[in-house]
Amino acid sequence: MEGEYFNETSYRGTKKFSQQDVKTADATGFGAAADDYMERGIDLNEQLIRNKPATFFMRVRGDAMTGAGIFDGDTIIVDRSLKADSGKVVVATLNGEMLIRRLEKTFNKVRLLSETPKHATIEVDASCDSLGIWGVVTYSIHPV
Amino acid sequence: MKAIVDCNSFYCSCERLFRPDLQHKPVVVLSNNDGCIVSRSDEAKAAGIGMAVPYFETKPLIQKHNISAFSSNYNLYGDMSWRVMETLRMLLGDASKVEVYSVDEAFIDLGNIPAEDLYNTAMNIRTTVEQWTGISVSIGVAPTKTLAKLANYLAKKDKAATKCVKVLATRGEQVTAMKQTRVGNVWGVGWAYAQKLIDQGITSAWELSTMPEEWAYSHLGGVTGARLIRELNALPSRQMEKPLVNKKMIATTRMFGQPVTDLNDIKEAIATYTSRAAEKLRRQHSAAKVISVFIVPREQNYEVSFRRGATVSSHITLPAATSSTPELIKPAVQLVESLYEQGKVYKKAGVMLAGLEPDESIQGNLFAAGPQKYHRLLMDMMDNINFSMRDDVLKFATSGLARNWKMRQELRSKRYTTRWEELYEVS
C-alpha cells in the first residue's frame, strides 16, 4: 500500500474552461476561426502540482542544498503523498527540527546529506523514531 | 455502510504540522479574542485542561505544565480542512460520497464494501489522510450515521487499542458498543434529554435502542427522536446530505477584545462586521433583504447570567435586496443606535443578513437602474483589491480608521499555507 498507491495521483486543480474564457468569442463580425483552436493557456499549477491537497510551499533558508541547485530564498514545492525513496531531496523532521536534505537509505542506516561541504552528514539508525519524513521536495523555484 | 471521519484535536494538529518540536507535547488553541480553550491535544487533556474553559482561568496550569497555547489561526485551519476533505473526495472518487459535516468532520458513504474489507478500507483512508495532509483522523464505520458516530466515539476513547478505527458491521458488535456507551454520548441526545433519560432509568445507548419508536416520538422530540431509535437499530434514517452551496443566512458576530461603552465604538464594530458579512454575501452571489443587528451587554452579576445573556436585537426589512456594503452599513448603524443604551458595557455584537435571494445585478445588468449597477462594480473592485492584497486595504470610514475591530490574536502562528510572505522557512 505504501509504495505504488501514492503514485496514482495527478493534478487536481481547476480545469475549468468555459466559452467565456475564449478571448475572441465575443467577436460579432466575421471569422472567429481561431475559436476552434483556442486552448486554455499554460497553467503552472499543472506542471508543478501533482496532488493539490498534499502539496505545500516552503521557503529555503541557508545554503545546505546549493549543490543540488537549491539556494537561499528559493521557494520549494513539497509533496507529502510521494514515497521518500533513497536519493530524493526531502523535508525531514529530526529532534523537532525541519531540515531540507537529500535522503540516503541503506539496510540499517538513514543518512541526511547536505549538498555543501559546510554541513556534516547526519546519520541515524533506520529504526530511529526521532527522524520523520515531512514530505518530498518536487520542485525548487529560483529567481533568475 | 457509512462512516464518519473526524480529525483528532484538529486545530492542535494543524499547529503541530509546522511545529514538529511539539509532536508529543501538550498544545491548546484559544477561541476568538483568546477567550476560551477550543482545542486540546491529548497531552493537554491529560494535564487537566478542560474544554471551553476561559484562558485566564487555566493560565496557571498552562504555565505549570509548559503547555503551548495558540490563538485561532482560521486561515490555516480553513486551508487544512479543505485538504482533508479534498483527500477524502479523491479517495472516494466521487464528491457526492463526502458530506462535510463541520470544519473537522465528514460523513462518507462507503457503499456496499464487504464487511470483511471495511476495517482495511477505513484504515487505508485514515493513513492516507494523515500521510497527505499531516492531520490524524479517527474513523467510525457502521450502517447508520448515528452508529458511525458512536463507533467513532469509541475509536477516539481508546486510540491505543483501536488505532483510531472502529467498525460496527454486525449486530453483535453494535450491541456491545451500545452497551459501553452512556446515553448522553449518543449523537443527537443533548444534555437536557440525557438527564431526562437517566431519570427514567435509561442509561446506556443500548437501553435507549430498545425503546419503542412511538415512545421516542412523544418523549424525544417527535420525528427526530423516532429516527434516533431507528438509527440505533441499524435502520438508516439520516441520509447523506447534499452540500449546502448557498447559505440561507449569513452572520458575523464577535466578542469584543475589551468591553465597549461608547456608541461610536459600537457603530464602528457593527460597520466592520457588516462589511465582512456583505463580502460573504457577494461571494455566494446573493443579495439580502433583511438585516438584523444584536448587541450583548455585560451582566453585573456573572453567576446569575451564565446561561443566557440579555441580548438585545432588532431587524429591518430593506425596500430592495442588496449586496452593497454601504447600503447595508447604513441600516445596520441605525439599528444599533436604537438598541444602544448609555451607561451599559457591551461585550459582544453581531450582524445577520437574511431573506437572501440571487443577486440580480451581478452580470452588470444593462437595464438595471444606474446607482445599483455602479454599486456592484464598485463592490467587485473593492473585493478584488481586498482579496488580492489579503488584509482589508479598502474599507469604509464608518468601520473606523484608528481602531481595528479584528480579533485579538496575540499567539497566532504564521499562515503557512495561504500567504507567500508567511511560508515555513526550512534550512
Residues of chain B with pLDDT under 50: 302-308, 362-366
ipTM exceeding 0.85, yes/no: no
Which stretches in chain A have pLDDT values below 70?
Answer: 1-38
Of B83, B124, B420, the CB nearest to A53: B83
Q: What pLDDT, on a 0 to 100 scale, did the predictor assign at position B254?
A: 81
In a domain, B333, yes or no: yes
pLDDT at B305: 41
Secondary structure (3-state) at B55: helix
Q: What does each C-alpha distance from B25 to B42, B43, B134, B250, B409 come to in angstroms?
A: 9, 6, 16, 38, 22
* Helix segments in chain A, DSSP class H: 44-48
- Interface probe for A, chosen from B98, B100, B417, B427 (most Cβ of A below 10 Å), is B427
Nearest residue of chain B to residue A54 (CA atoms): B132
B143 belongs to a structural domain:
no
Of A12, A58, A80, the CB nearest to B424: A58
In three-state secondary structure terms, B57 is helix
So what's the pLDDT on residue B6? 97
Which residues of chain B neighbour A75 with C-beta distances below 8 Å? 423
Is A59 close to B134, i.e. CB distance below 8 A?
Answer: no
Q: Which residues contact B347 (CB under 8 A, 6 or more apart)?
A: B255, B256, B259, B260, B296, B297, B298, B309
> What confidence score (pLDDT) does residue A17 get?
59
Distance CA B253, CA B262 (A): 18
Interface test mutation site (partner B, options A58, A82, A83, max chain B beta carbons within 10 A): A58
Does B186 reside within a domain? no
For residue B237, give the DSSP letter: -
Domain with B377 in it: what CATH number?
Answer: 3.30.1490.100
Residue A81 in contact with partner chain B when CB distance is under 8 A:
yes
pLDDT at A85 (0 to 100):
95
Domain that includes residue B294, residue range: 250-399
Structural domain contains residue B60 = no
| Residue type at B125 in one-letter notation | I
CA distances for B276 relative to A118, B96, B353, B407, angstroms? 51, 30, 11, 13
Say if B323 falls within a structural domain: yes
Q: What is the pLDDT of residues B60-94, one digit of tens each?
A: 999 999 999 999 998 899 999 999 999 999 999 98
pLDDT number for residue A8: 39
Q: Which long-range contacts (CB under 8 A, 24 or more apart) does B92-99 make?
A: B96/B240, B96/B242, B97/B240, B99/B240, B99/B241, B99/B242, B99/B243
Which pLDDT tens digit goes with each residue over B280-306? 888 888 889 899 999 888 765 544 444
A75, closest residue in chain B (CA to CA): B423
* CA closest to A101 among chain B residues: B427
- Chain A residues touching B134 at Cβ < 8 A: 80, 134
Any domain includes B214: no
pLDDT at A7: 38
Domain count of the fold of chain B: 1
- Domains (range + CATH), chain A: 53-141 (2.10.109.10)
Other Cβ atoms less than 10 A from the Cβ of B137: the count is 29
Three-class HEC string of B270-289: HHHHHHHHHHHHHHCCEEEE
How far apart are alpha carbons A87 and B79 in whole angstroms?
Answer: 31
Pick from A9, A51, A57: which is nearest to B423 by CB?
Answer: A57
Q: Do A59 and B124 touch (CB under 8 A)?
A: no
Judge: A53–B124 Cβ closer than 8 Å, yes or no: no
pTM higher than the cut 0.90: no
Query: Per the domain annotation, does B10 fall within a domain?
Result: no
Name the residue among A52, A59, A81 with its Cβ closest to that of B131.
A81
d(CA A62, CA A51): 27
Residue B271 falls inside a structural domain? yes
Residue B186: per-residue pLDDT? 93
What's the number of CA atoms in the CB half-sphere (13 Å) around residue B346?
27
